[in-house]
Amino acid sequence: MSASAAAIEAEGLHKTFGSIHAVDGIDLALQPNRVYGLLGPNGSGKTTLIRLIAGLARATAGEARILGTRMPSRPMLRRIGYMPQAEALYPELSVRENVAFFARLEGAVSNDAIDRVLELVELGDRRGTPAMHLSGGMRRRLSLACTLVHEPPILFLDEPTVGVDPALRVQFWAHFRRLAAAGTTILVASHVMDEADRCDELLFVRSGKVIARGTPTELRQGAGTTDLEAAFLHYAGLDAEGRPLVASEP
Amino acid sequence: MSIARVLAVARRIAQGFRRDERTLGLVFVVPIVVTALLGWVLRDQMDATVRVAVAGAIADQAAQSRLETIAAESGIDLEVRSLGLNASIEDVRAAVRAGRADVGILIPIQYGGPPAVQVVTEGADPAAESGMMGALQMLLLRAFEPSGSGLLNGPPTFRHETVYLSPDADTLDVLAPVFLGYFGYFFVFLLTGISFLRERVGGTLDRLLATPVTRVEIVLGYSLGFGLFATLQVIVLTLFVLARIDVPAIGPIPAFTIGLDVQSVGNPVLAFFVALVLSLGAVNLGVFLSTFARTELQIIQFIPLVIVPQGLLGGIFWPVDRLPDILQVVARALPMTYAVDGLREVMLKGAGLGSAVVQGDLAVLAGIAVLFVALAAGTIKREVA
């Protein structure tokens, strides 16, 4: 494997489900110390792209590499944190037991690390509560804790702040920035445009293709607008009357 | 009360069924299949040859051929072998214990008085043996008929003894060891099936596969985790079957007994071990079959396919070698057949770990458990092992 500065690379990634091109020829080179935003409407291929890169699904064509290793690779999974869109938690287990379970699967993780990550997501005083008794926002935070507990250098976060209240969302992002500053490569999928501005670099995705990429400022300037939503519509070839971003693909 | 709302609920149920072919199949096809299977098992039982070992006055050539002739006239397939005129009751018992004969008959050579017939059976299956005893008594009475060319004169007396259990053992004594294995298997299968289905449907399995855990690690972890519960369950059930605790009457509550007070000839720990190895197979069967279900209801729907045939064919009620040929082949592929055999060997016949039969049963059960570990791991979809 060639040594490469990019932490996450993709070359000509394709994934088809029958006649549907979920991911249709995507190239990426994502650097450490940065937060990347994957923006697009539901069904645009964000989740499939993340699953291909993380090695959870096999590409129809093309290849993805993480830290120079071609995916899928099981040893590389230890260095990845993946937060799926739907919380994957054990409802009968307590908050702490859920985190401890995933920590053990990732390899030996100290009790300190588990307690630290619980404080980070503000579930320290809920550690004994069964997950089934948590509110939607708390489950989201617990899911994030399970993803972060082994301190992976590569993070894939699929809509991490859905159902999280604005105050905590700010704290989430402050932590993502700290992690990036410490060398983590973060790829966040979202369809919330106000989150996009917190990313270092954005990838606009539509119908399985990257239709534009750049910093939020570059993308706004390129579209001649002050607002990212309008910029997306511009690059998607839709006018200001175009379908709302959250609408499903036809 | 609105009829329209009642109808709306009823209509909703019918609409749901229409899209669930499997439940429709369960409602209409499975009862027929199970009933047909039961009918097949009951009607086409093979008339097994009864192997009789004779000793004493009945052991000479003339007596043997007379016995066979009368049996043939009565439509009973009898295979008579002689242990010799001078064989003792010990020789007869040894022949039955070694499985060389189903029934042993000794008529001591004596002069005068009615013949005292001693009958020895295995004792592992009271129901079948009492039927066999009835037929034998009839045969022997005919053979002794004073008017005909009887073997001996005078009405014979019968004394029945069994090699393993006492002759008055009841059906429960024979079935209890088997239920140890059967109920454990049943509940462990249901528990793991539903539990693993939740992993698949709830997204946790997918999440697990984003960690370095391997598929075999997941399946073995399940075996160990549910194996612990299977262990506790089998321990409690074994104790209940074997125990007898008499609770005296207290006030208005009459005296009662806890436990079935079933006699185990062999080592209960070995019986427990056989049931445990069976249960481990059930864990992995549950994981395996959860692939083919989308809802918990569909796991329940596997009961008629997994649990019922094993109950009918596993040798619990009817010996496997009396089943119709094709069903015998099926029965030999079911883990329950080996568990039933092993449990009976241990608890009714007192076999130990040194017994070749018990070793064989345990080996097959362990093999089936390992096979299903592999099959279960194979059902977990993953891009990397």
B157 and B278, same domain (yes or no): no
Q: What is the token pair recorded at A227?
A: 């607002």
Task: Please report residues of B whose CB lies closer than 8 A to that of A82.
Answer: 207, 210
User: A55, B384: Cβ pair inside 8 Å?
Assistant: yes
Domain enclosing residue B324, as ranges: 171-378
Among chain B residues, CA nearest to A73: B384
Percent of chain A topping pLDDT 90: 56
B207 touches chain A (CB under 8 A): yes
Q: Flag whether pLDDT at B361 surpasses 50.
A: yes
B225 and B283, same domain (yes or no): yes
Task: Please report residues of A whose CB lies closer than 8 A to that of B218.
Answer: none
Res B147: pLDDT: 46
B103 and B227, same domain (yes or no): no
- Report the 3 state secondary structure along chain B: CCHHHHHHHHHHHHHHHHCCHHHHHHHHHHHHHHHHHHHHHHHCCCCCCEEEEEEECCCCHHHHHHHHHHHHHCCCCEEEEEEECCCCHHHHHHHHHCCCCCEEEEECCCCCCCCEEEEEECCCCHHHHHHHHHHHHHHHHHHCCCCCCCCCCCCCEEEEEECCCCCCCCHHHHHHHHHHHHHHHHHHHHHHHHHHHHHHHHCHHHHHCCCCCCHHHHHHHHHHHHHHHHHHHHHHHHHHHHCCEEECCECCECCEEECCCCCCCCCHHHHHHHHHHHHHHHHHHHHHHHHHCCCHHHHHCCHHHHHHHHHHHCCCCCCHHHCCHHHHHHHCCCHHHHHHHHHHHHHCCCCCCCCHHHHHHHHHHHHHHHHHHHHHHHCCCCCCC
> Shortest Cα distance from A18 to chain B (angstroms)?
18
- The string of pLDDT tens digits covering residues B11-45 is 998 888 888 777 787 788 888 888 888 888 888 77
Res B146: pLDDT: 54
Tell whether B305 is covered by a domain. yes
**CA-to-CA distance for B375 and B372, rounded, in angstroms?**
5
> Shortest Cα distance from B222 to chain A (angstroms)?
14
Percent of chain A topping pLDDT 70: 94
Q: Flag whether pLDDT at A47 surpasses 50.
A: yes
A158 beta partners = A189
- Which one is predicted more confidently, B368 or A195? B368
Q: What is the mean pLDDT of chain B?
A: 84
- The string of pLDDT tens digits covering residues A213-241 is 999 999 999 888 888 888 888 888 876 66
Task: Please report residues of A whose CB lies closer than 8 A to that of B211.
Answer: 77-78, 102, 105-106
The structural domain count of chain B equals 2
B231 and B308, same domain (yes or no): yes
Tell whether B384 is covered by a domain. no
Res A1: pLDDT: 41
User: A106, B211: Cβ pair inside 8 Å?
Assistant: yes
Percent of chain B topping pLDDT 70: 95
Res B383: pLDDT: 66
Q: Which of A122-126, A140-144, B139-143, B363-367 has the lowest mean pLDDT?
A: B139-143
- Which of A56, A63, A70, A90 has the highest number of chain B CBs within 10 A, making it the mutation to test binding with B? A56
User: B212, A77: Cβ pair inside 8 Å?
Assistant: yes
B194 touches chain A (CB under 8 A): no
Q: Flag whether pLDDT at B74 surpasses 50.
A: yes
Q: Flag whether pLDDT at B54 surpasses 60.
A: yes
| Mean pLDDT in residue range B89-104 | 88
The answer to whether the beta carbons of residues B267 and B342 sit under 8 Å apart is: no
Q: How far apart are the first and last CA of chain A?
A: 40
The answer to whether the beta carbons of residues A102 and A142 sit under 8 Å apart is: no
Task: Please report residues of A whose CB lies closer than 8 A to that of B385.
Answer: 74
**CA-to-CA distance for A239 and A212, rounded, in angstroms?**
16
Task: Please report residues of A whose CB lies closer than 8 A to that of B212.
Answer: 74-75, 77-78, 105-107
B278 and B191, same domain (yes or no): yes
Confidence grade of residue A93 (pLDDT, cut at 50, 70, 90) = very high
- DSSP state at residue A18: T
Tell whether B79 is covered by a domain. yes
Check which CATH number belongs to the domain holding B77 and give it. 3.40.190
Task: Please report residues of B whose CB lies closer than 8 A to that of A109.
Answer: none
Q: Flag whether pLDDT at B4 surpasses 90.
A: yes
B257 and B110, same domain (yes or no): no
From the list B206, B211, B383, which residue is nearest A105 (CB)?
B211
Contacts of B243 (CB under 8 A, 6+ apart): B258, B259, B260, B261
- Strand, helix or coil for residue A114: helix
Q: Whose CA is closest to A155, among A13, A47, A35, A72?
A: A35
H or E element that contains A172: helix A166-181
Tell me the domain boundaries of chain A: 1-79+152-239, 90-151
- The string of pLDDT tens digits covering residues B290-320 is 888 888 888 888 888 888 889 889 888 888 8
B175 and B253, same domain (yes or no): yes
Confidence grade of residue B75 (pLDDT, cut at 50, 70, 90) = confident
Q: Is ipTM strictly over 0.95?
A: no
Percent of chain B topping pLDDT 90: 16
Give me the architecture of the A1-79+152-239 domain, per CATH: 3-Layer(aba) Sandwich (3.40)
**CA-to-CA distance for A83 and A117, rounded, in angstroms?**
14
Task: Please report residues of A whose CB lies closer than 8 A to that of B208.
Answer: 88, 105
Residues 208-227 of B with CB under 8 A from A: 208-214
**CA-to-CA distance for A130 and A142, rounded, in angstroms?**
11
Q: Flag whether pLDDT at B83 surpasses 90.
A: no
**CA-to-CA distance for B385 and A11, rounded, in angstroms?**
24
User: B206, A56: Cβ pair inside 8 Å?
Assistant: yes
- The string of pLDDT tens digits covering residues A129-178 is 999 999 888 998 999 999 999 999 999 999 988 878 888 888 889 999 99
Confidence grade of residue A114 (pLDDT, cut at 50, 70, 90) = very high
B184 and B134, same domain (yes or no): no
- The string of pLDDT tens digits covering residues B243-275 is 888 888 888 888 888 888 877 778 888 888 888
B187 and B332, same domain (yes or no): yes
Tell me the residue type at A201.
E
B154 and B186, same domain (yes or no): no
Q: How far apart are the first and last CA of chain B?
A: 58
> Shortest Cα distance from B203 to chain A (angstroms)?
5
Task: Please report residues of B whose CB lies closer than 8 A to that of A72.
Answer: 383-384
- DSSP state at residue A248: P
B126 and B178, same domain (yes or no): no
From the list B209, B214, B385, which residue is nearest A56 (CB)?
B209
Among chain A residues, CA nearest to B200: A88
Domain limit, last residue, from B111, B133, B162: B162
Q: Flag whether pLDDT at A247 surpasses 70.
A: no
B215 and B358, same domain (yes or no): yes
Dihedral over alpha carbons A125, A131, A132, A135 (to 10 degrees): 60
What is the bridge-based pairing of β-strands A61-66 and A35-39? unpaired
From the list B207, B213, B384, which residue is nearest A88 (CB)?
B207
- The string of pLDDT tens digits covering residues B121-131 is 888 777 777 77
Task: Please report residues of A whose CB lies closer than 8 A to that of B209.
Answer: 56
Q: Flag whether pLDDT at A4 surpasses 60.
A: no
User: A106, B212: Cβ pair inside 8 Å?
Assistant: yes
- Which one is predicted more confidently, B55 or B110? B55
Q: Flag whether pLDDT at B150 surpasses 70.
A: no
Q: Which of A62-71, A89-98, B310-319 has the lowest mean pLDDT?
A: B310-319
Pairs of CB atoms within 8 A across A/B: 50
